[in-house]
Amino acid sequence: MNRFAVCVSRAVARVTDAALGPYQTAIVRIGFATTWLLFLLRELPHRQELYGPDGPWSWDLARQLTANNHAFSVLMWSDGQMWFETVYALALLSSALLLVGWRTRTMSLLFMVGVLSLQNRSVFMGDGGDNVIHLMAIYLVFTRCGQVWSLDARRARRSAAARARAEEPRSDRAGPALWVVLGLVLAVPSVAGWISGAWLVVFWGLWAVQGLWWYVGRRAPHGEPRILLDVVANLVHNAALLMIMAEACLIYSTAGWYKIQGSRWQDGTAVYYPLHIDYFSPWPALSDLLSAHGATVLLITYGTVAAQVAFPFTLFNRRVKNVLLAVMMTEHAVIAVVLGLPFFSLAMIAADAVFLPTSFLRRLGGWAARARGRLTRPAVRLPLPRPRGPRPPAEEPAEQPQASPAT
């Protein structure tokens, strides 16, 4: 009984003392922000057809659908062109700022708003990758994903260094100003009745918690209220991280078990057919090369099913998990090239990254830091070559006057 109590106390201390997986949540943040940002940039010329008020899925149809399923989308507040352009621009901006880790708590919330607003506006325009981004955008709001590899982490290091030198750190003016502006912006749709129900509680609750966090950190940075807030934040972060991992396992296990039930997956020919669909064949020669040999198709088909079904069980063995993780990421990279699904593959690779070992991620961060240092290092000016030729005669040293005895 004592041993059980000790194990429980250690587990409680582990999930409350620190936010686990700082590098994993950071790479997930960077991966999904990059995927969504690149998608929005690629579809920038086609944004009107996808999500605009004059698209095939009209604004009236979208409003009827969201009224029935209670999906959240700020694009339902107005059908004006200017409002749509504003929302699209804010979605781009929040993705870029979340990518670099500037005010990650706020940007993760705005990132979620942008993802939900655009995807729920036209639900028939997405694929499996969009569903993954949809879910992960919600989970990221509850993580402390800016602990490393972010501008927030750099600002925290500078403040800590200033305190170590017994100096007063620079006052944070951008954070409170952003908090006040977002509060005023949130008040408008709340009063107008555009937000209701659970979403109203979520947005105002997160806004109030952010204000409380700043106030406690300002007044009592090392007091008991701040310690309590850290404990709660760590619990929420670790729960959200567990949800991200469980979601990735659920995606693979569900896909694998559904494939087992299909006759084409059972006879080993399922991979052959997508390779001969024009929509999924950006490189016909490459598709023909892969589908030319029946043994190759058979191995890829059975290997895909086996990897997806076995992936959740490999988490109990680190070495096997790392090997299978590399196989899954390689498979998604091949899908991106061969089938022309880059954003689906990027989304799945970003979800897989939550299982990468910390040692590898730290080495990856070191490589990125060295590469950035080489790119940003100022050019070294080399001395000009001296002209060749006969040396000029050395000048005779001038005679110095002899000192007089009086001196």
Structure confidence by residue, pLDDT tens digits, 6-50? 777 787 888 888 999 999 999 999 999 999 999 999 999 999 999
Mean pLDDT of the chain: 89
CB 216 within 8 A of CB 228: no
- Looking at residue 350, its amino acid is A
Dihedral over Cα of 313, 316, 320, 321: its sign:
positive
Lookup: tokens for 192:
């107008």
CA distances from 260 to 248, 263, 302, 327 (A): 19, 8, 9, 20
Question: pLDDT tens for residues 286-326?
Answer: 988 888 888 999 999 999 999 999 999 999 899 999 999 99
Alpha-carbon span 16 to 32, nearest angstrom: 26
Round to whole Å and give the CA distance between 137 and 143: 10
- What mean pLDDT do residues 123-141 have? 91
Lowest-confidence pick of 255-259, 325-329, 375-379:
375-379
Contact 240, 285 (CB under 8 A): no
pTM: 0.90
- Candidates 331, 314, 313; CA nearest to 323 is 314
Most confident of the following: 30-44, 57-71, 367-381: 30-44
Our CA angle for 64, 207, 73, nearest 5°, is: 15
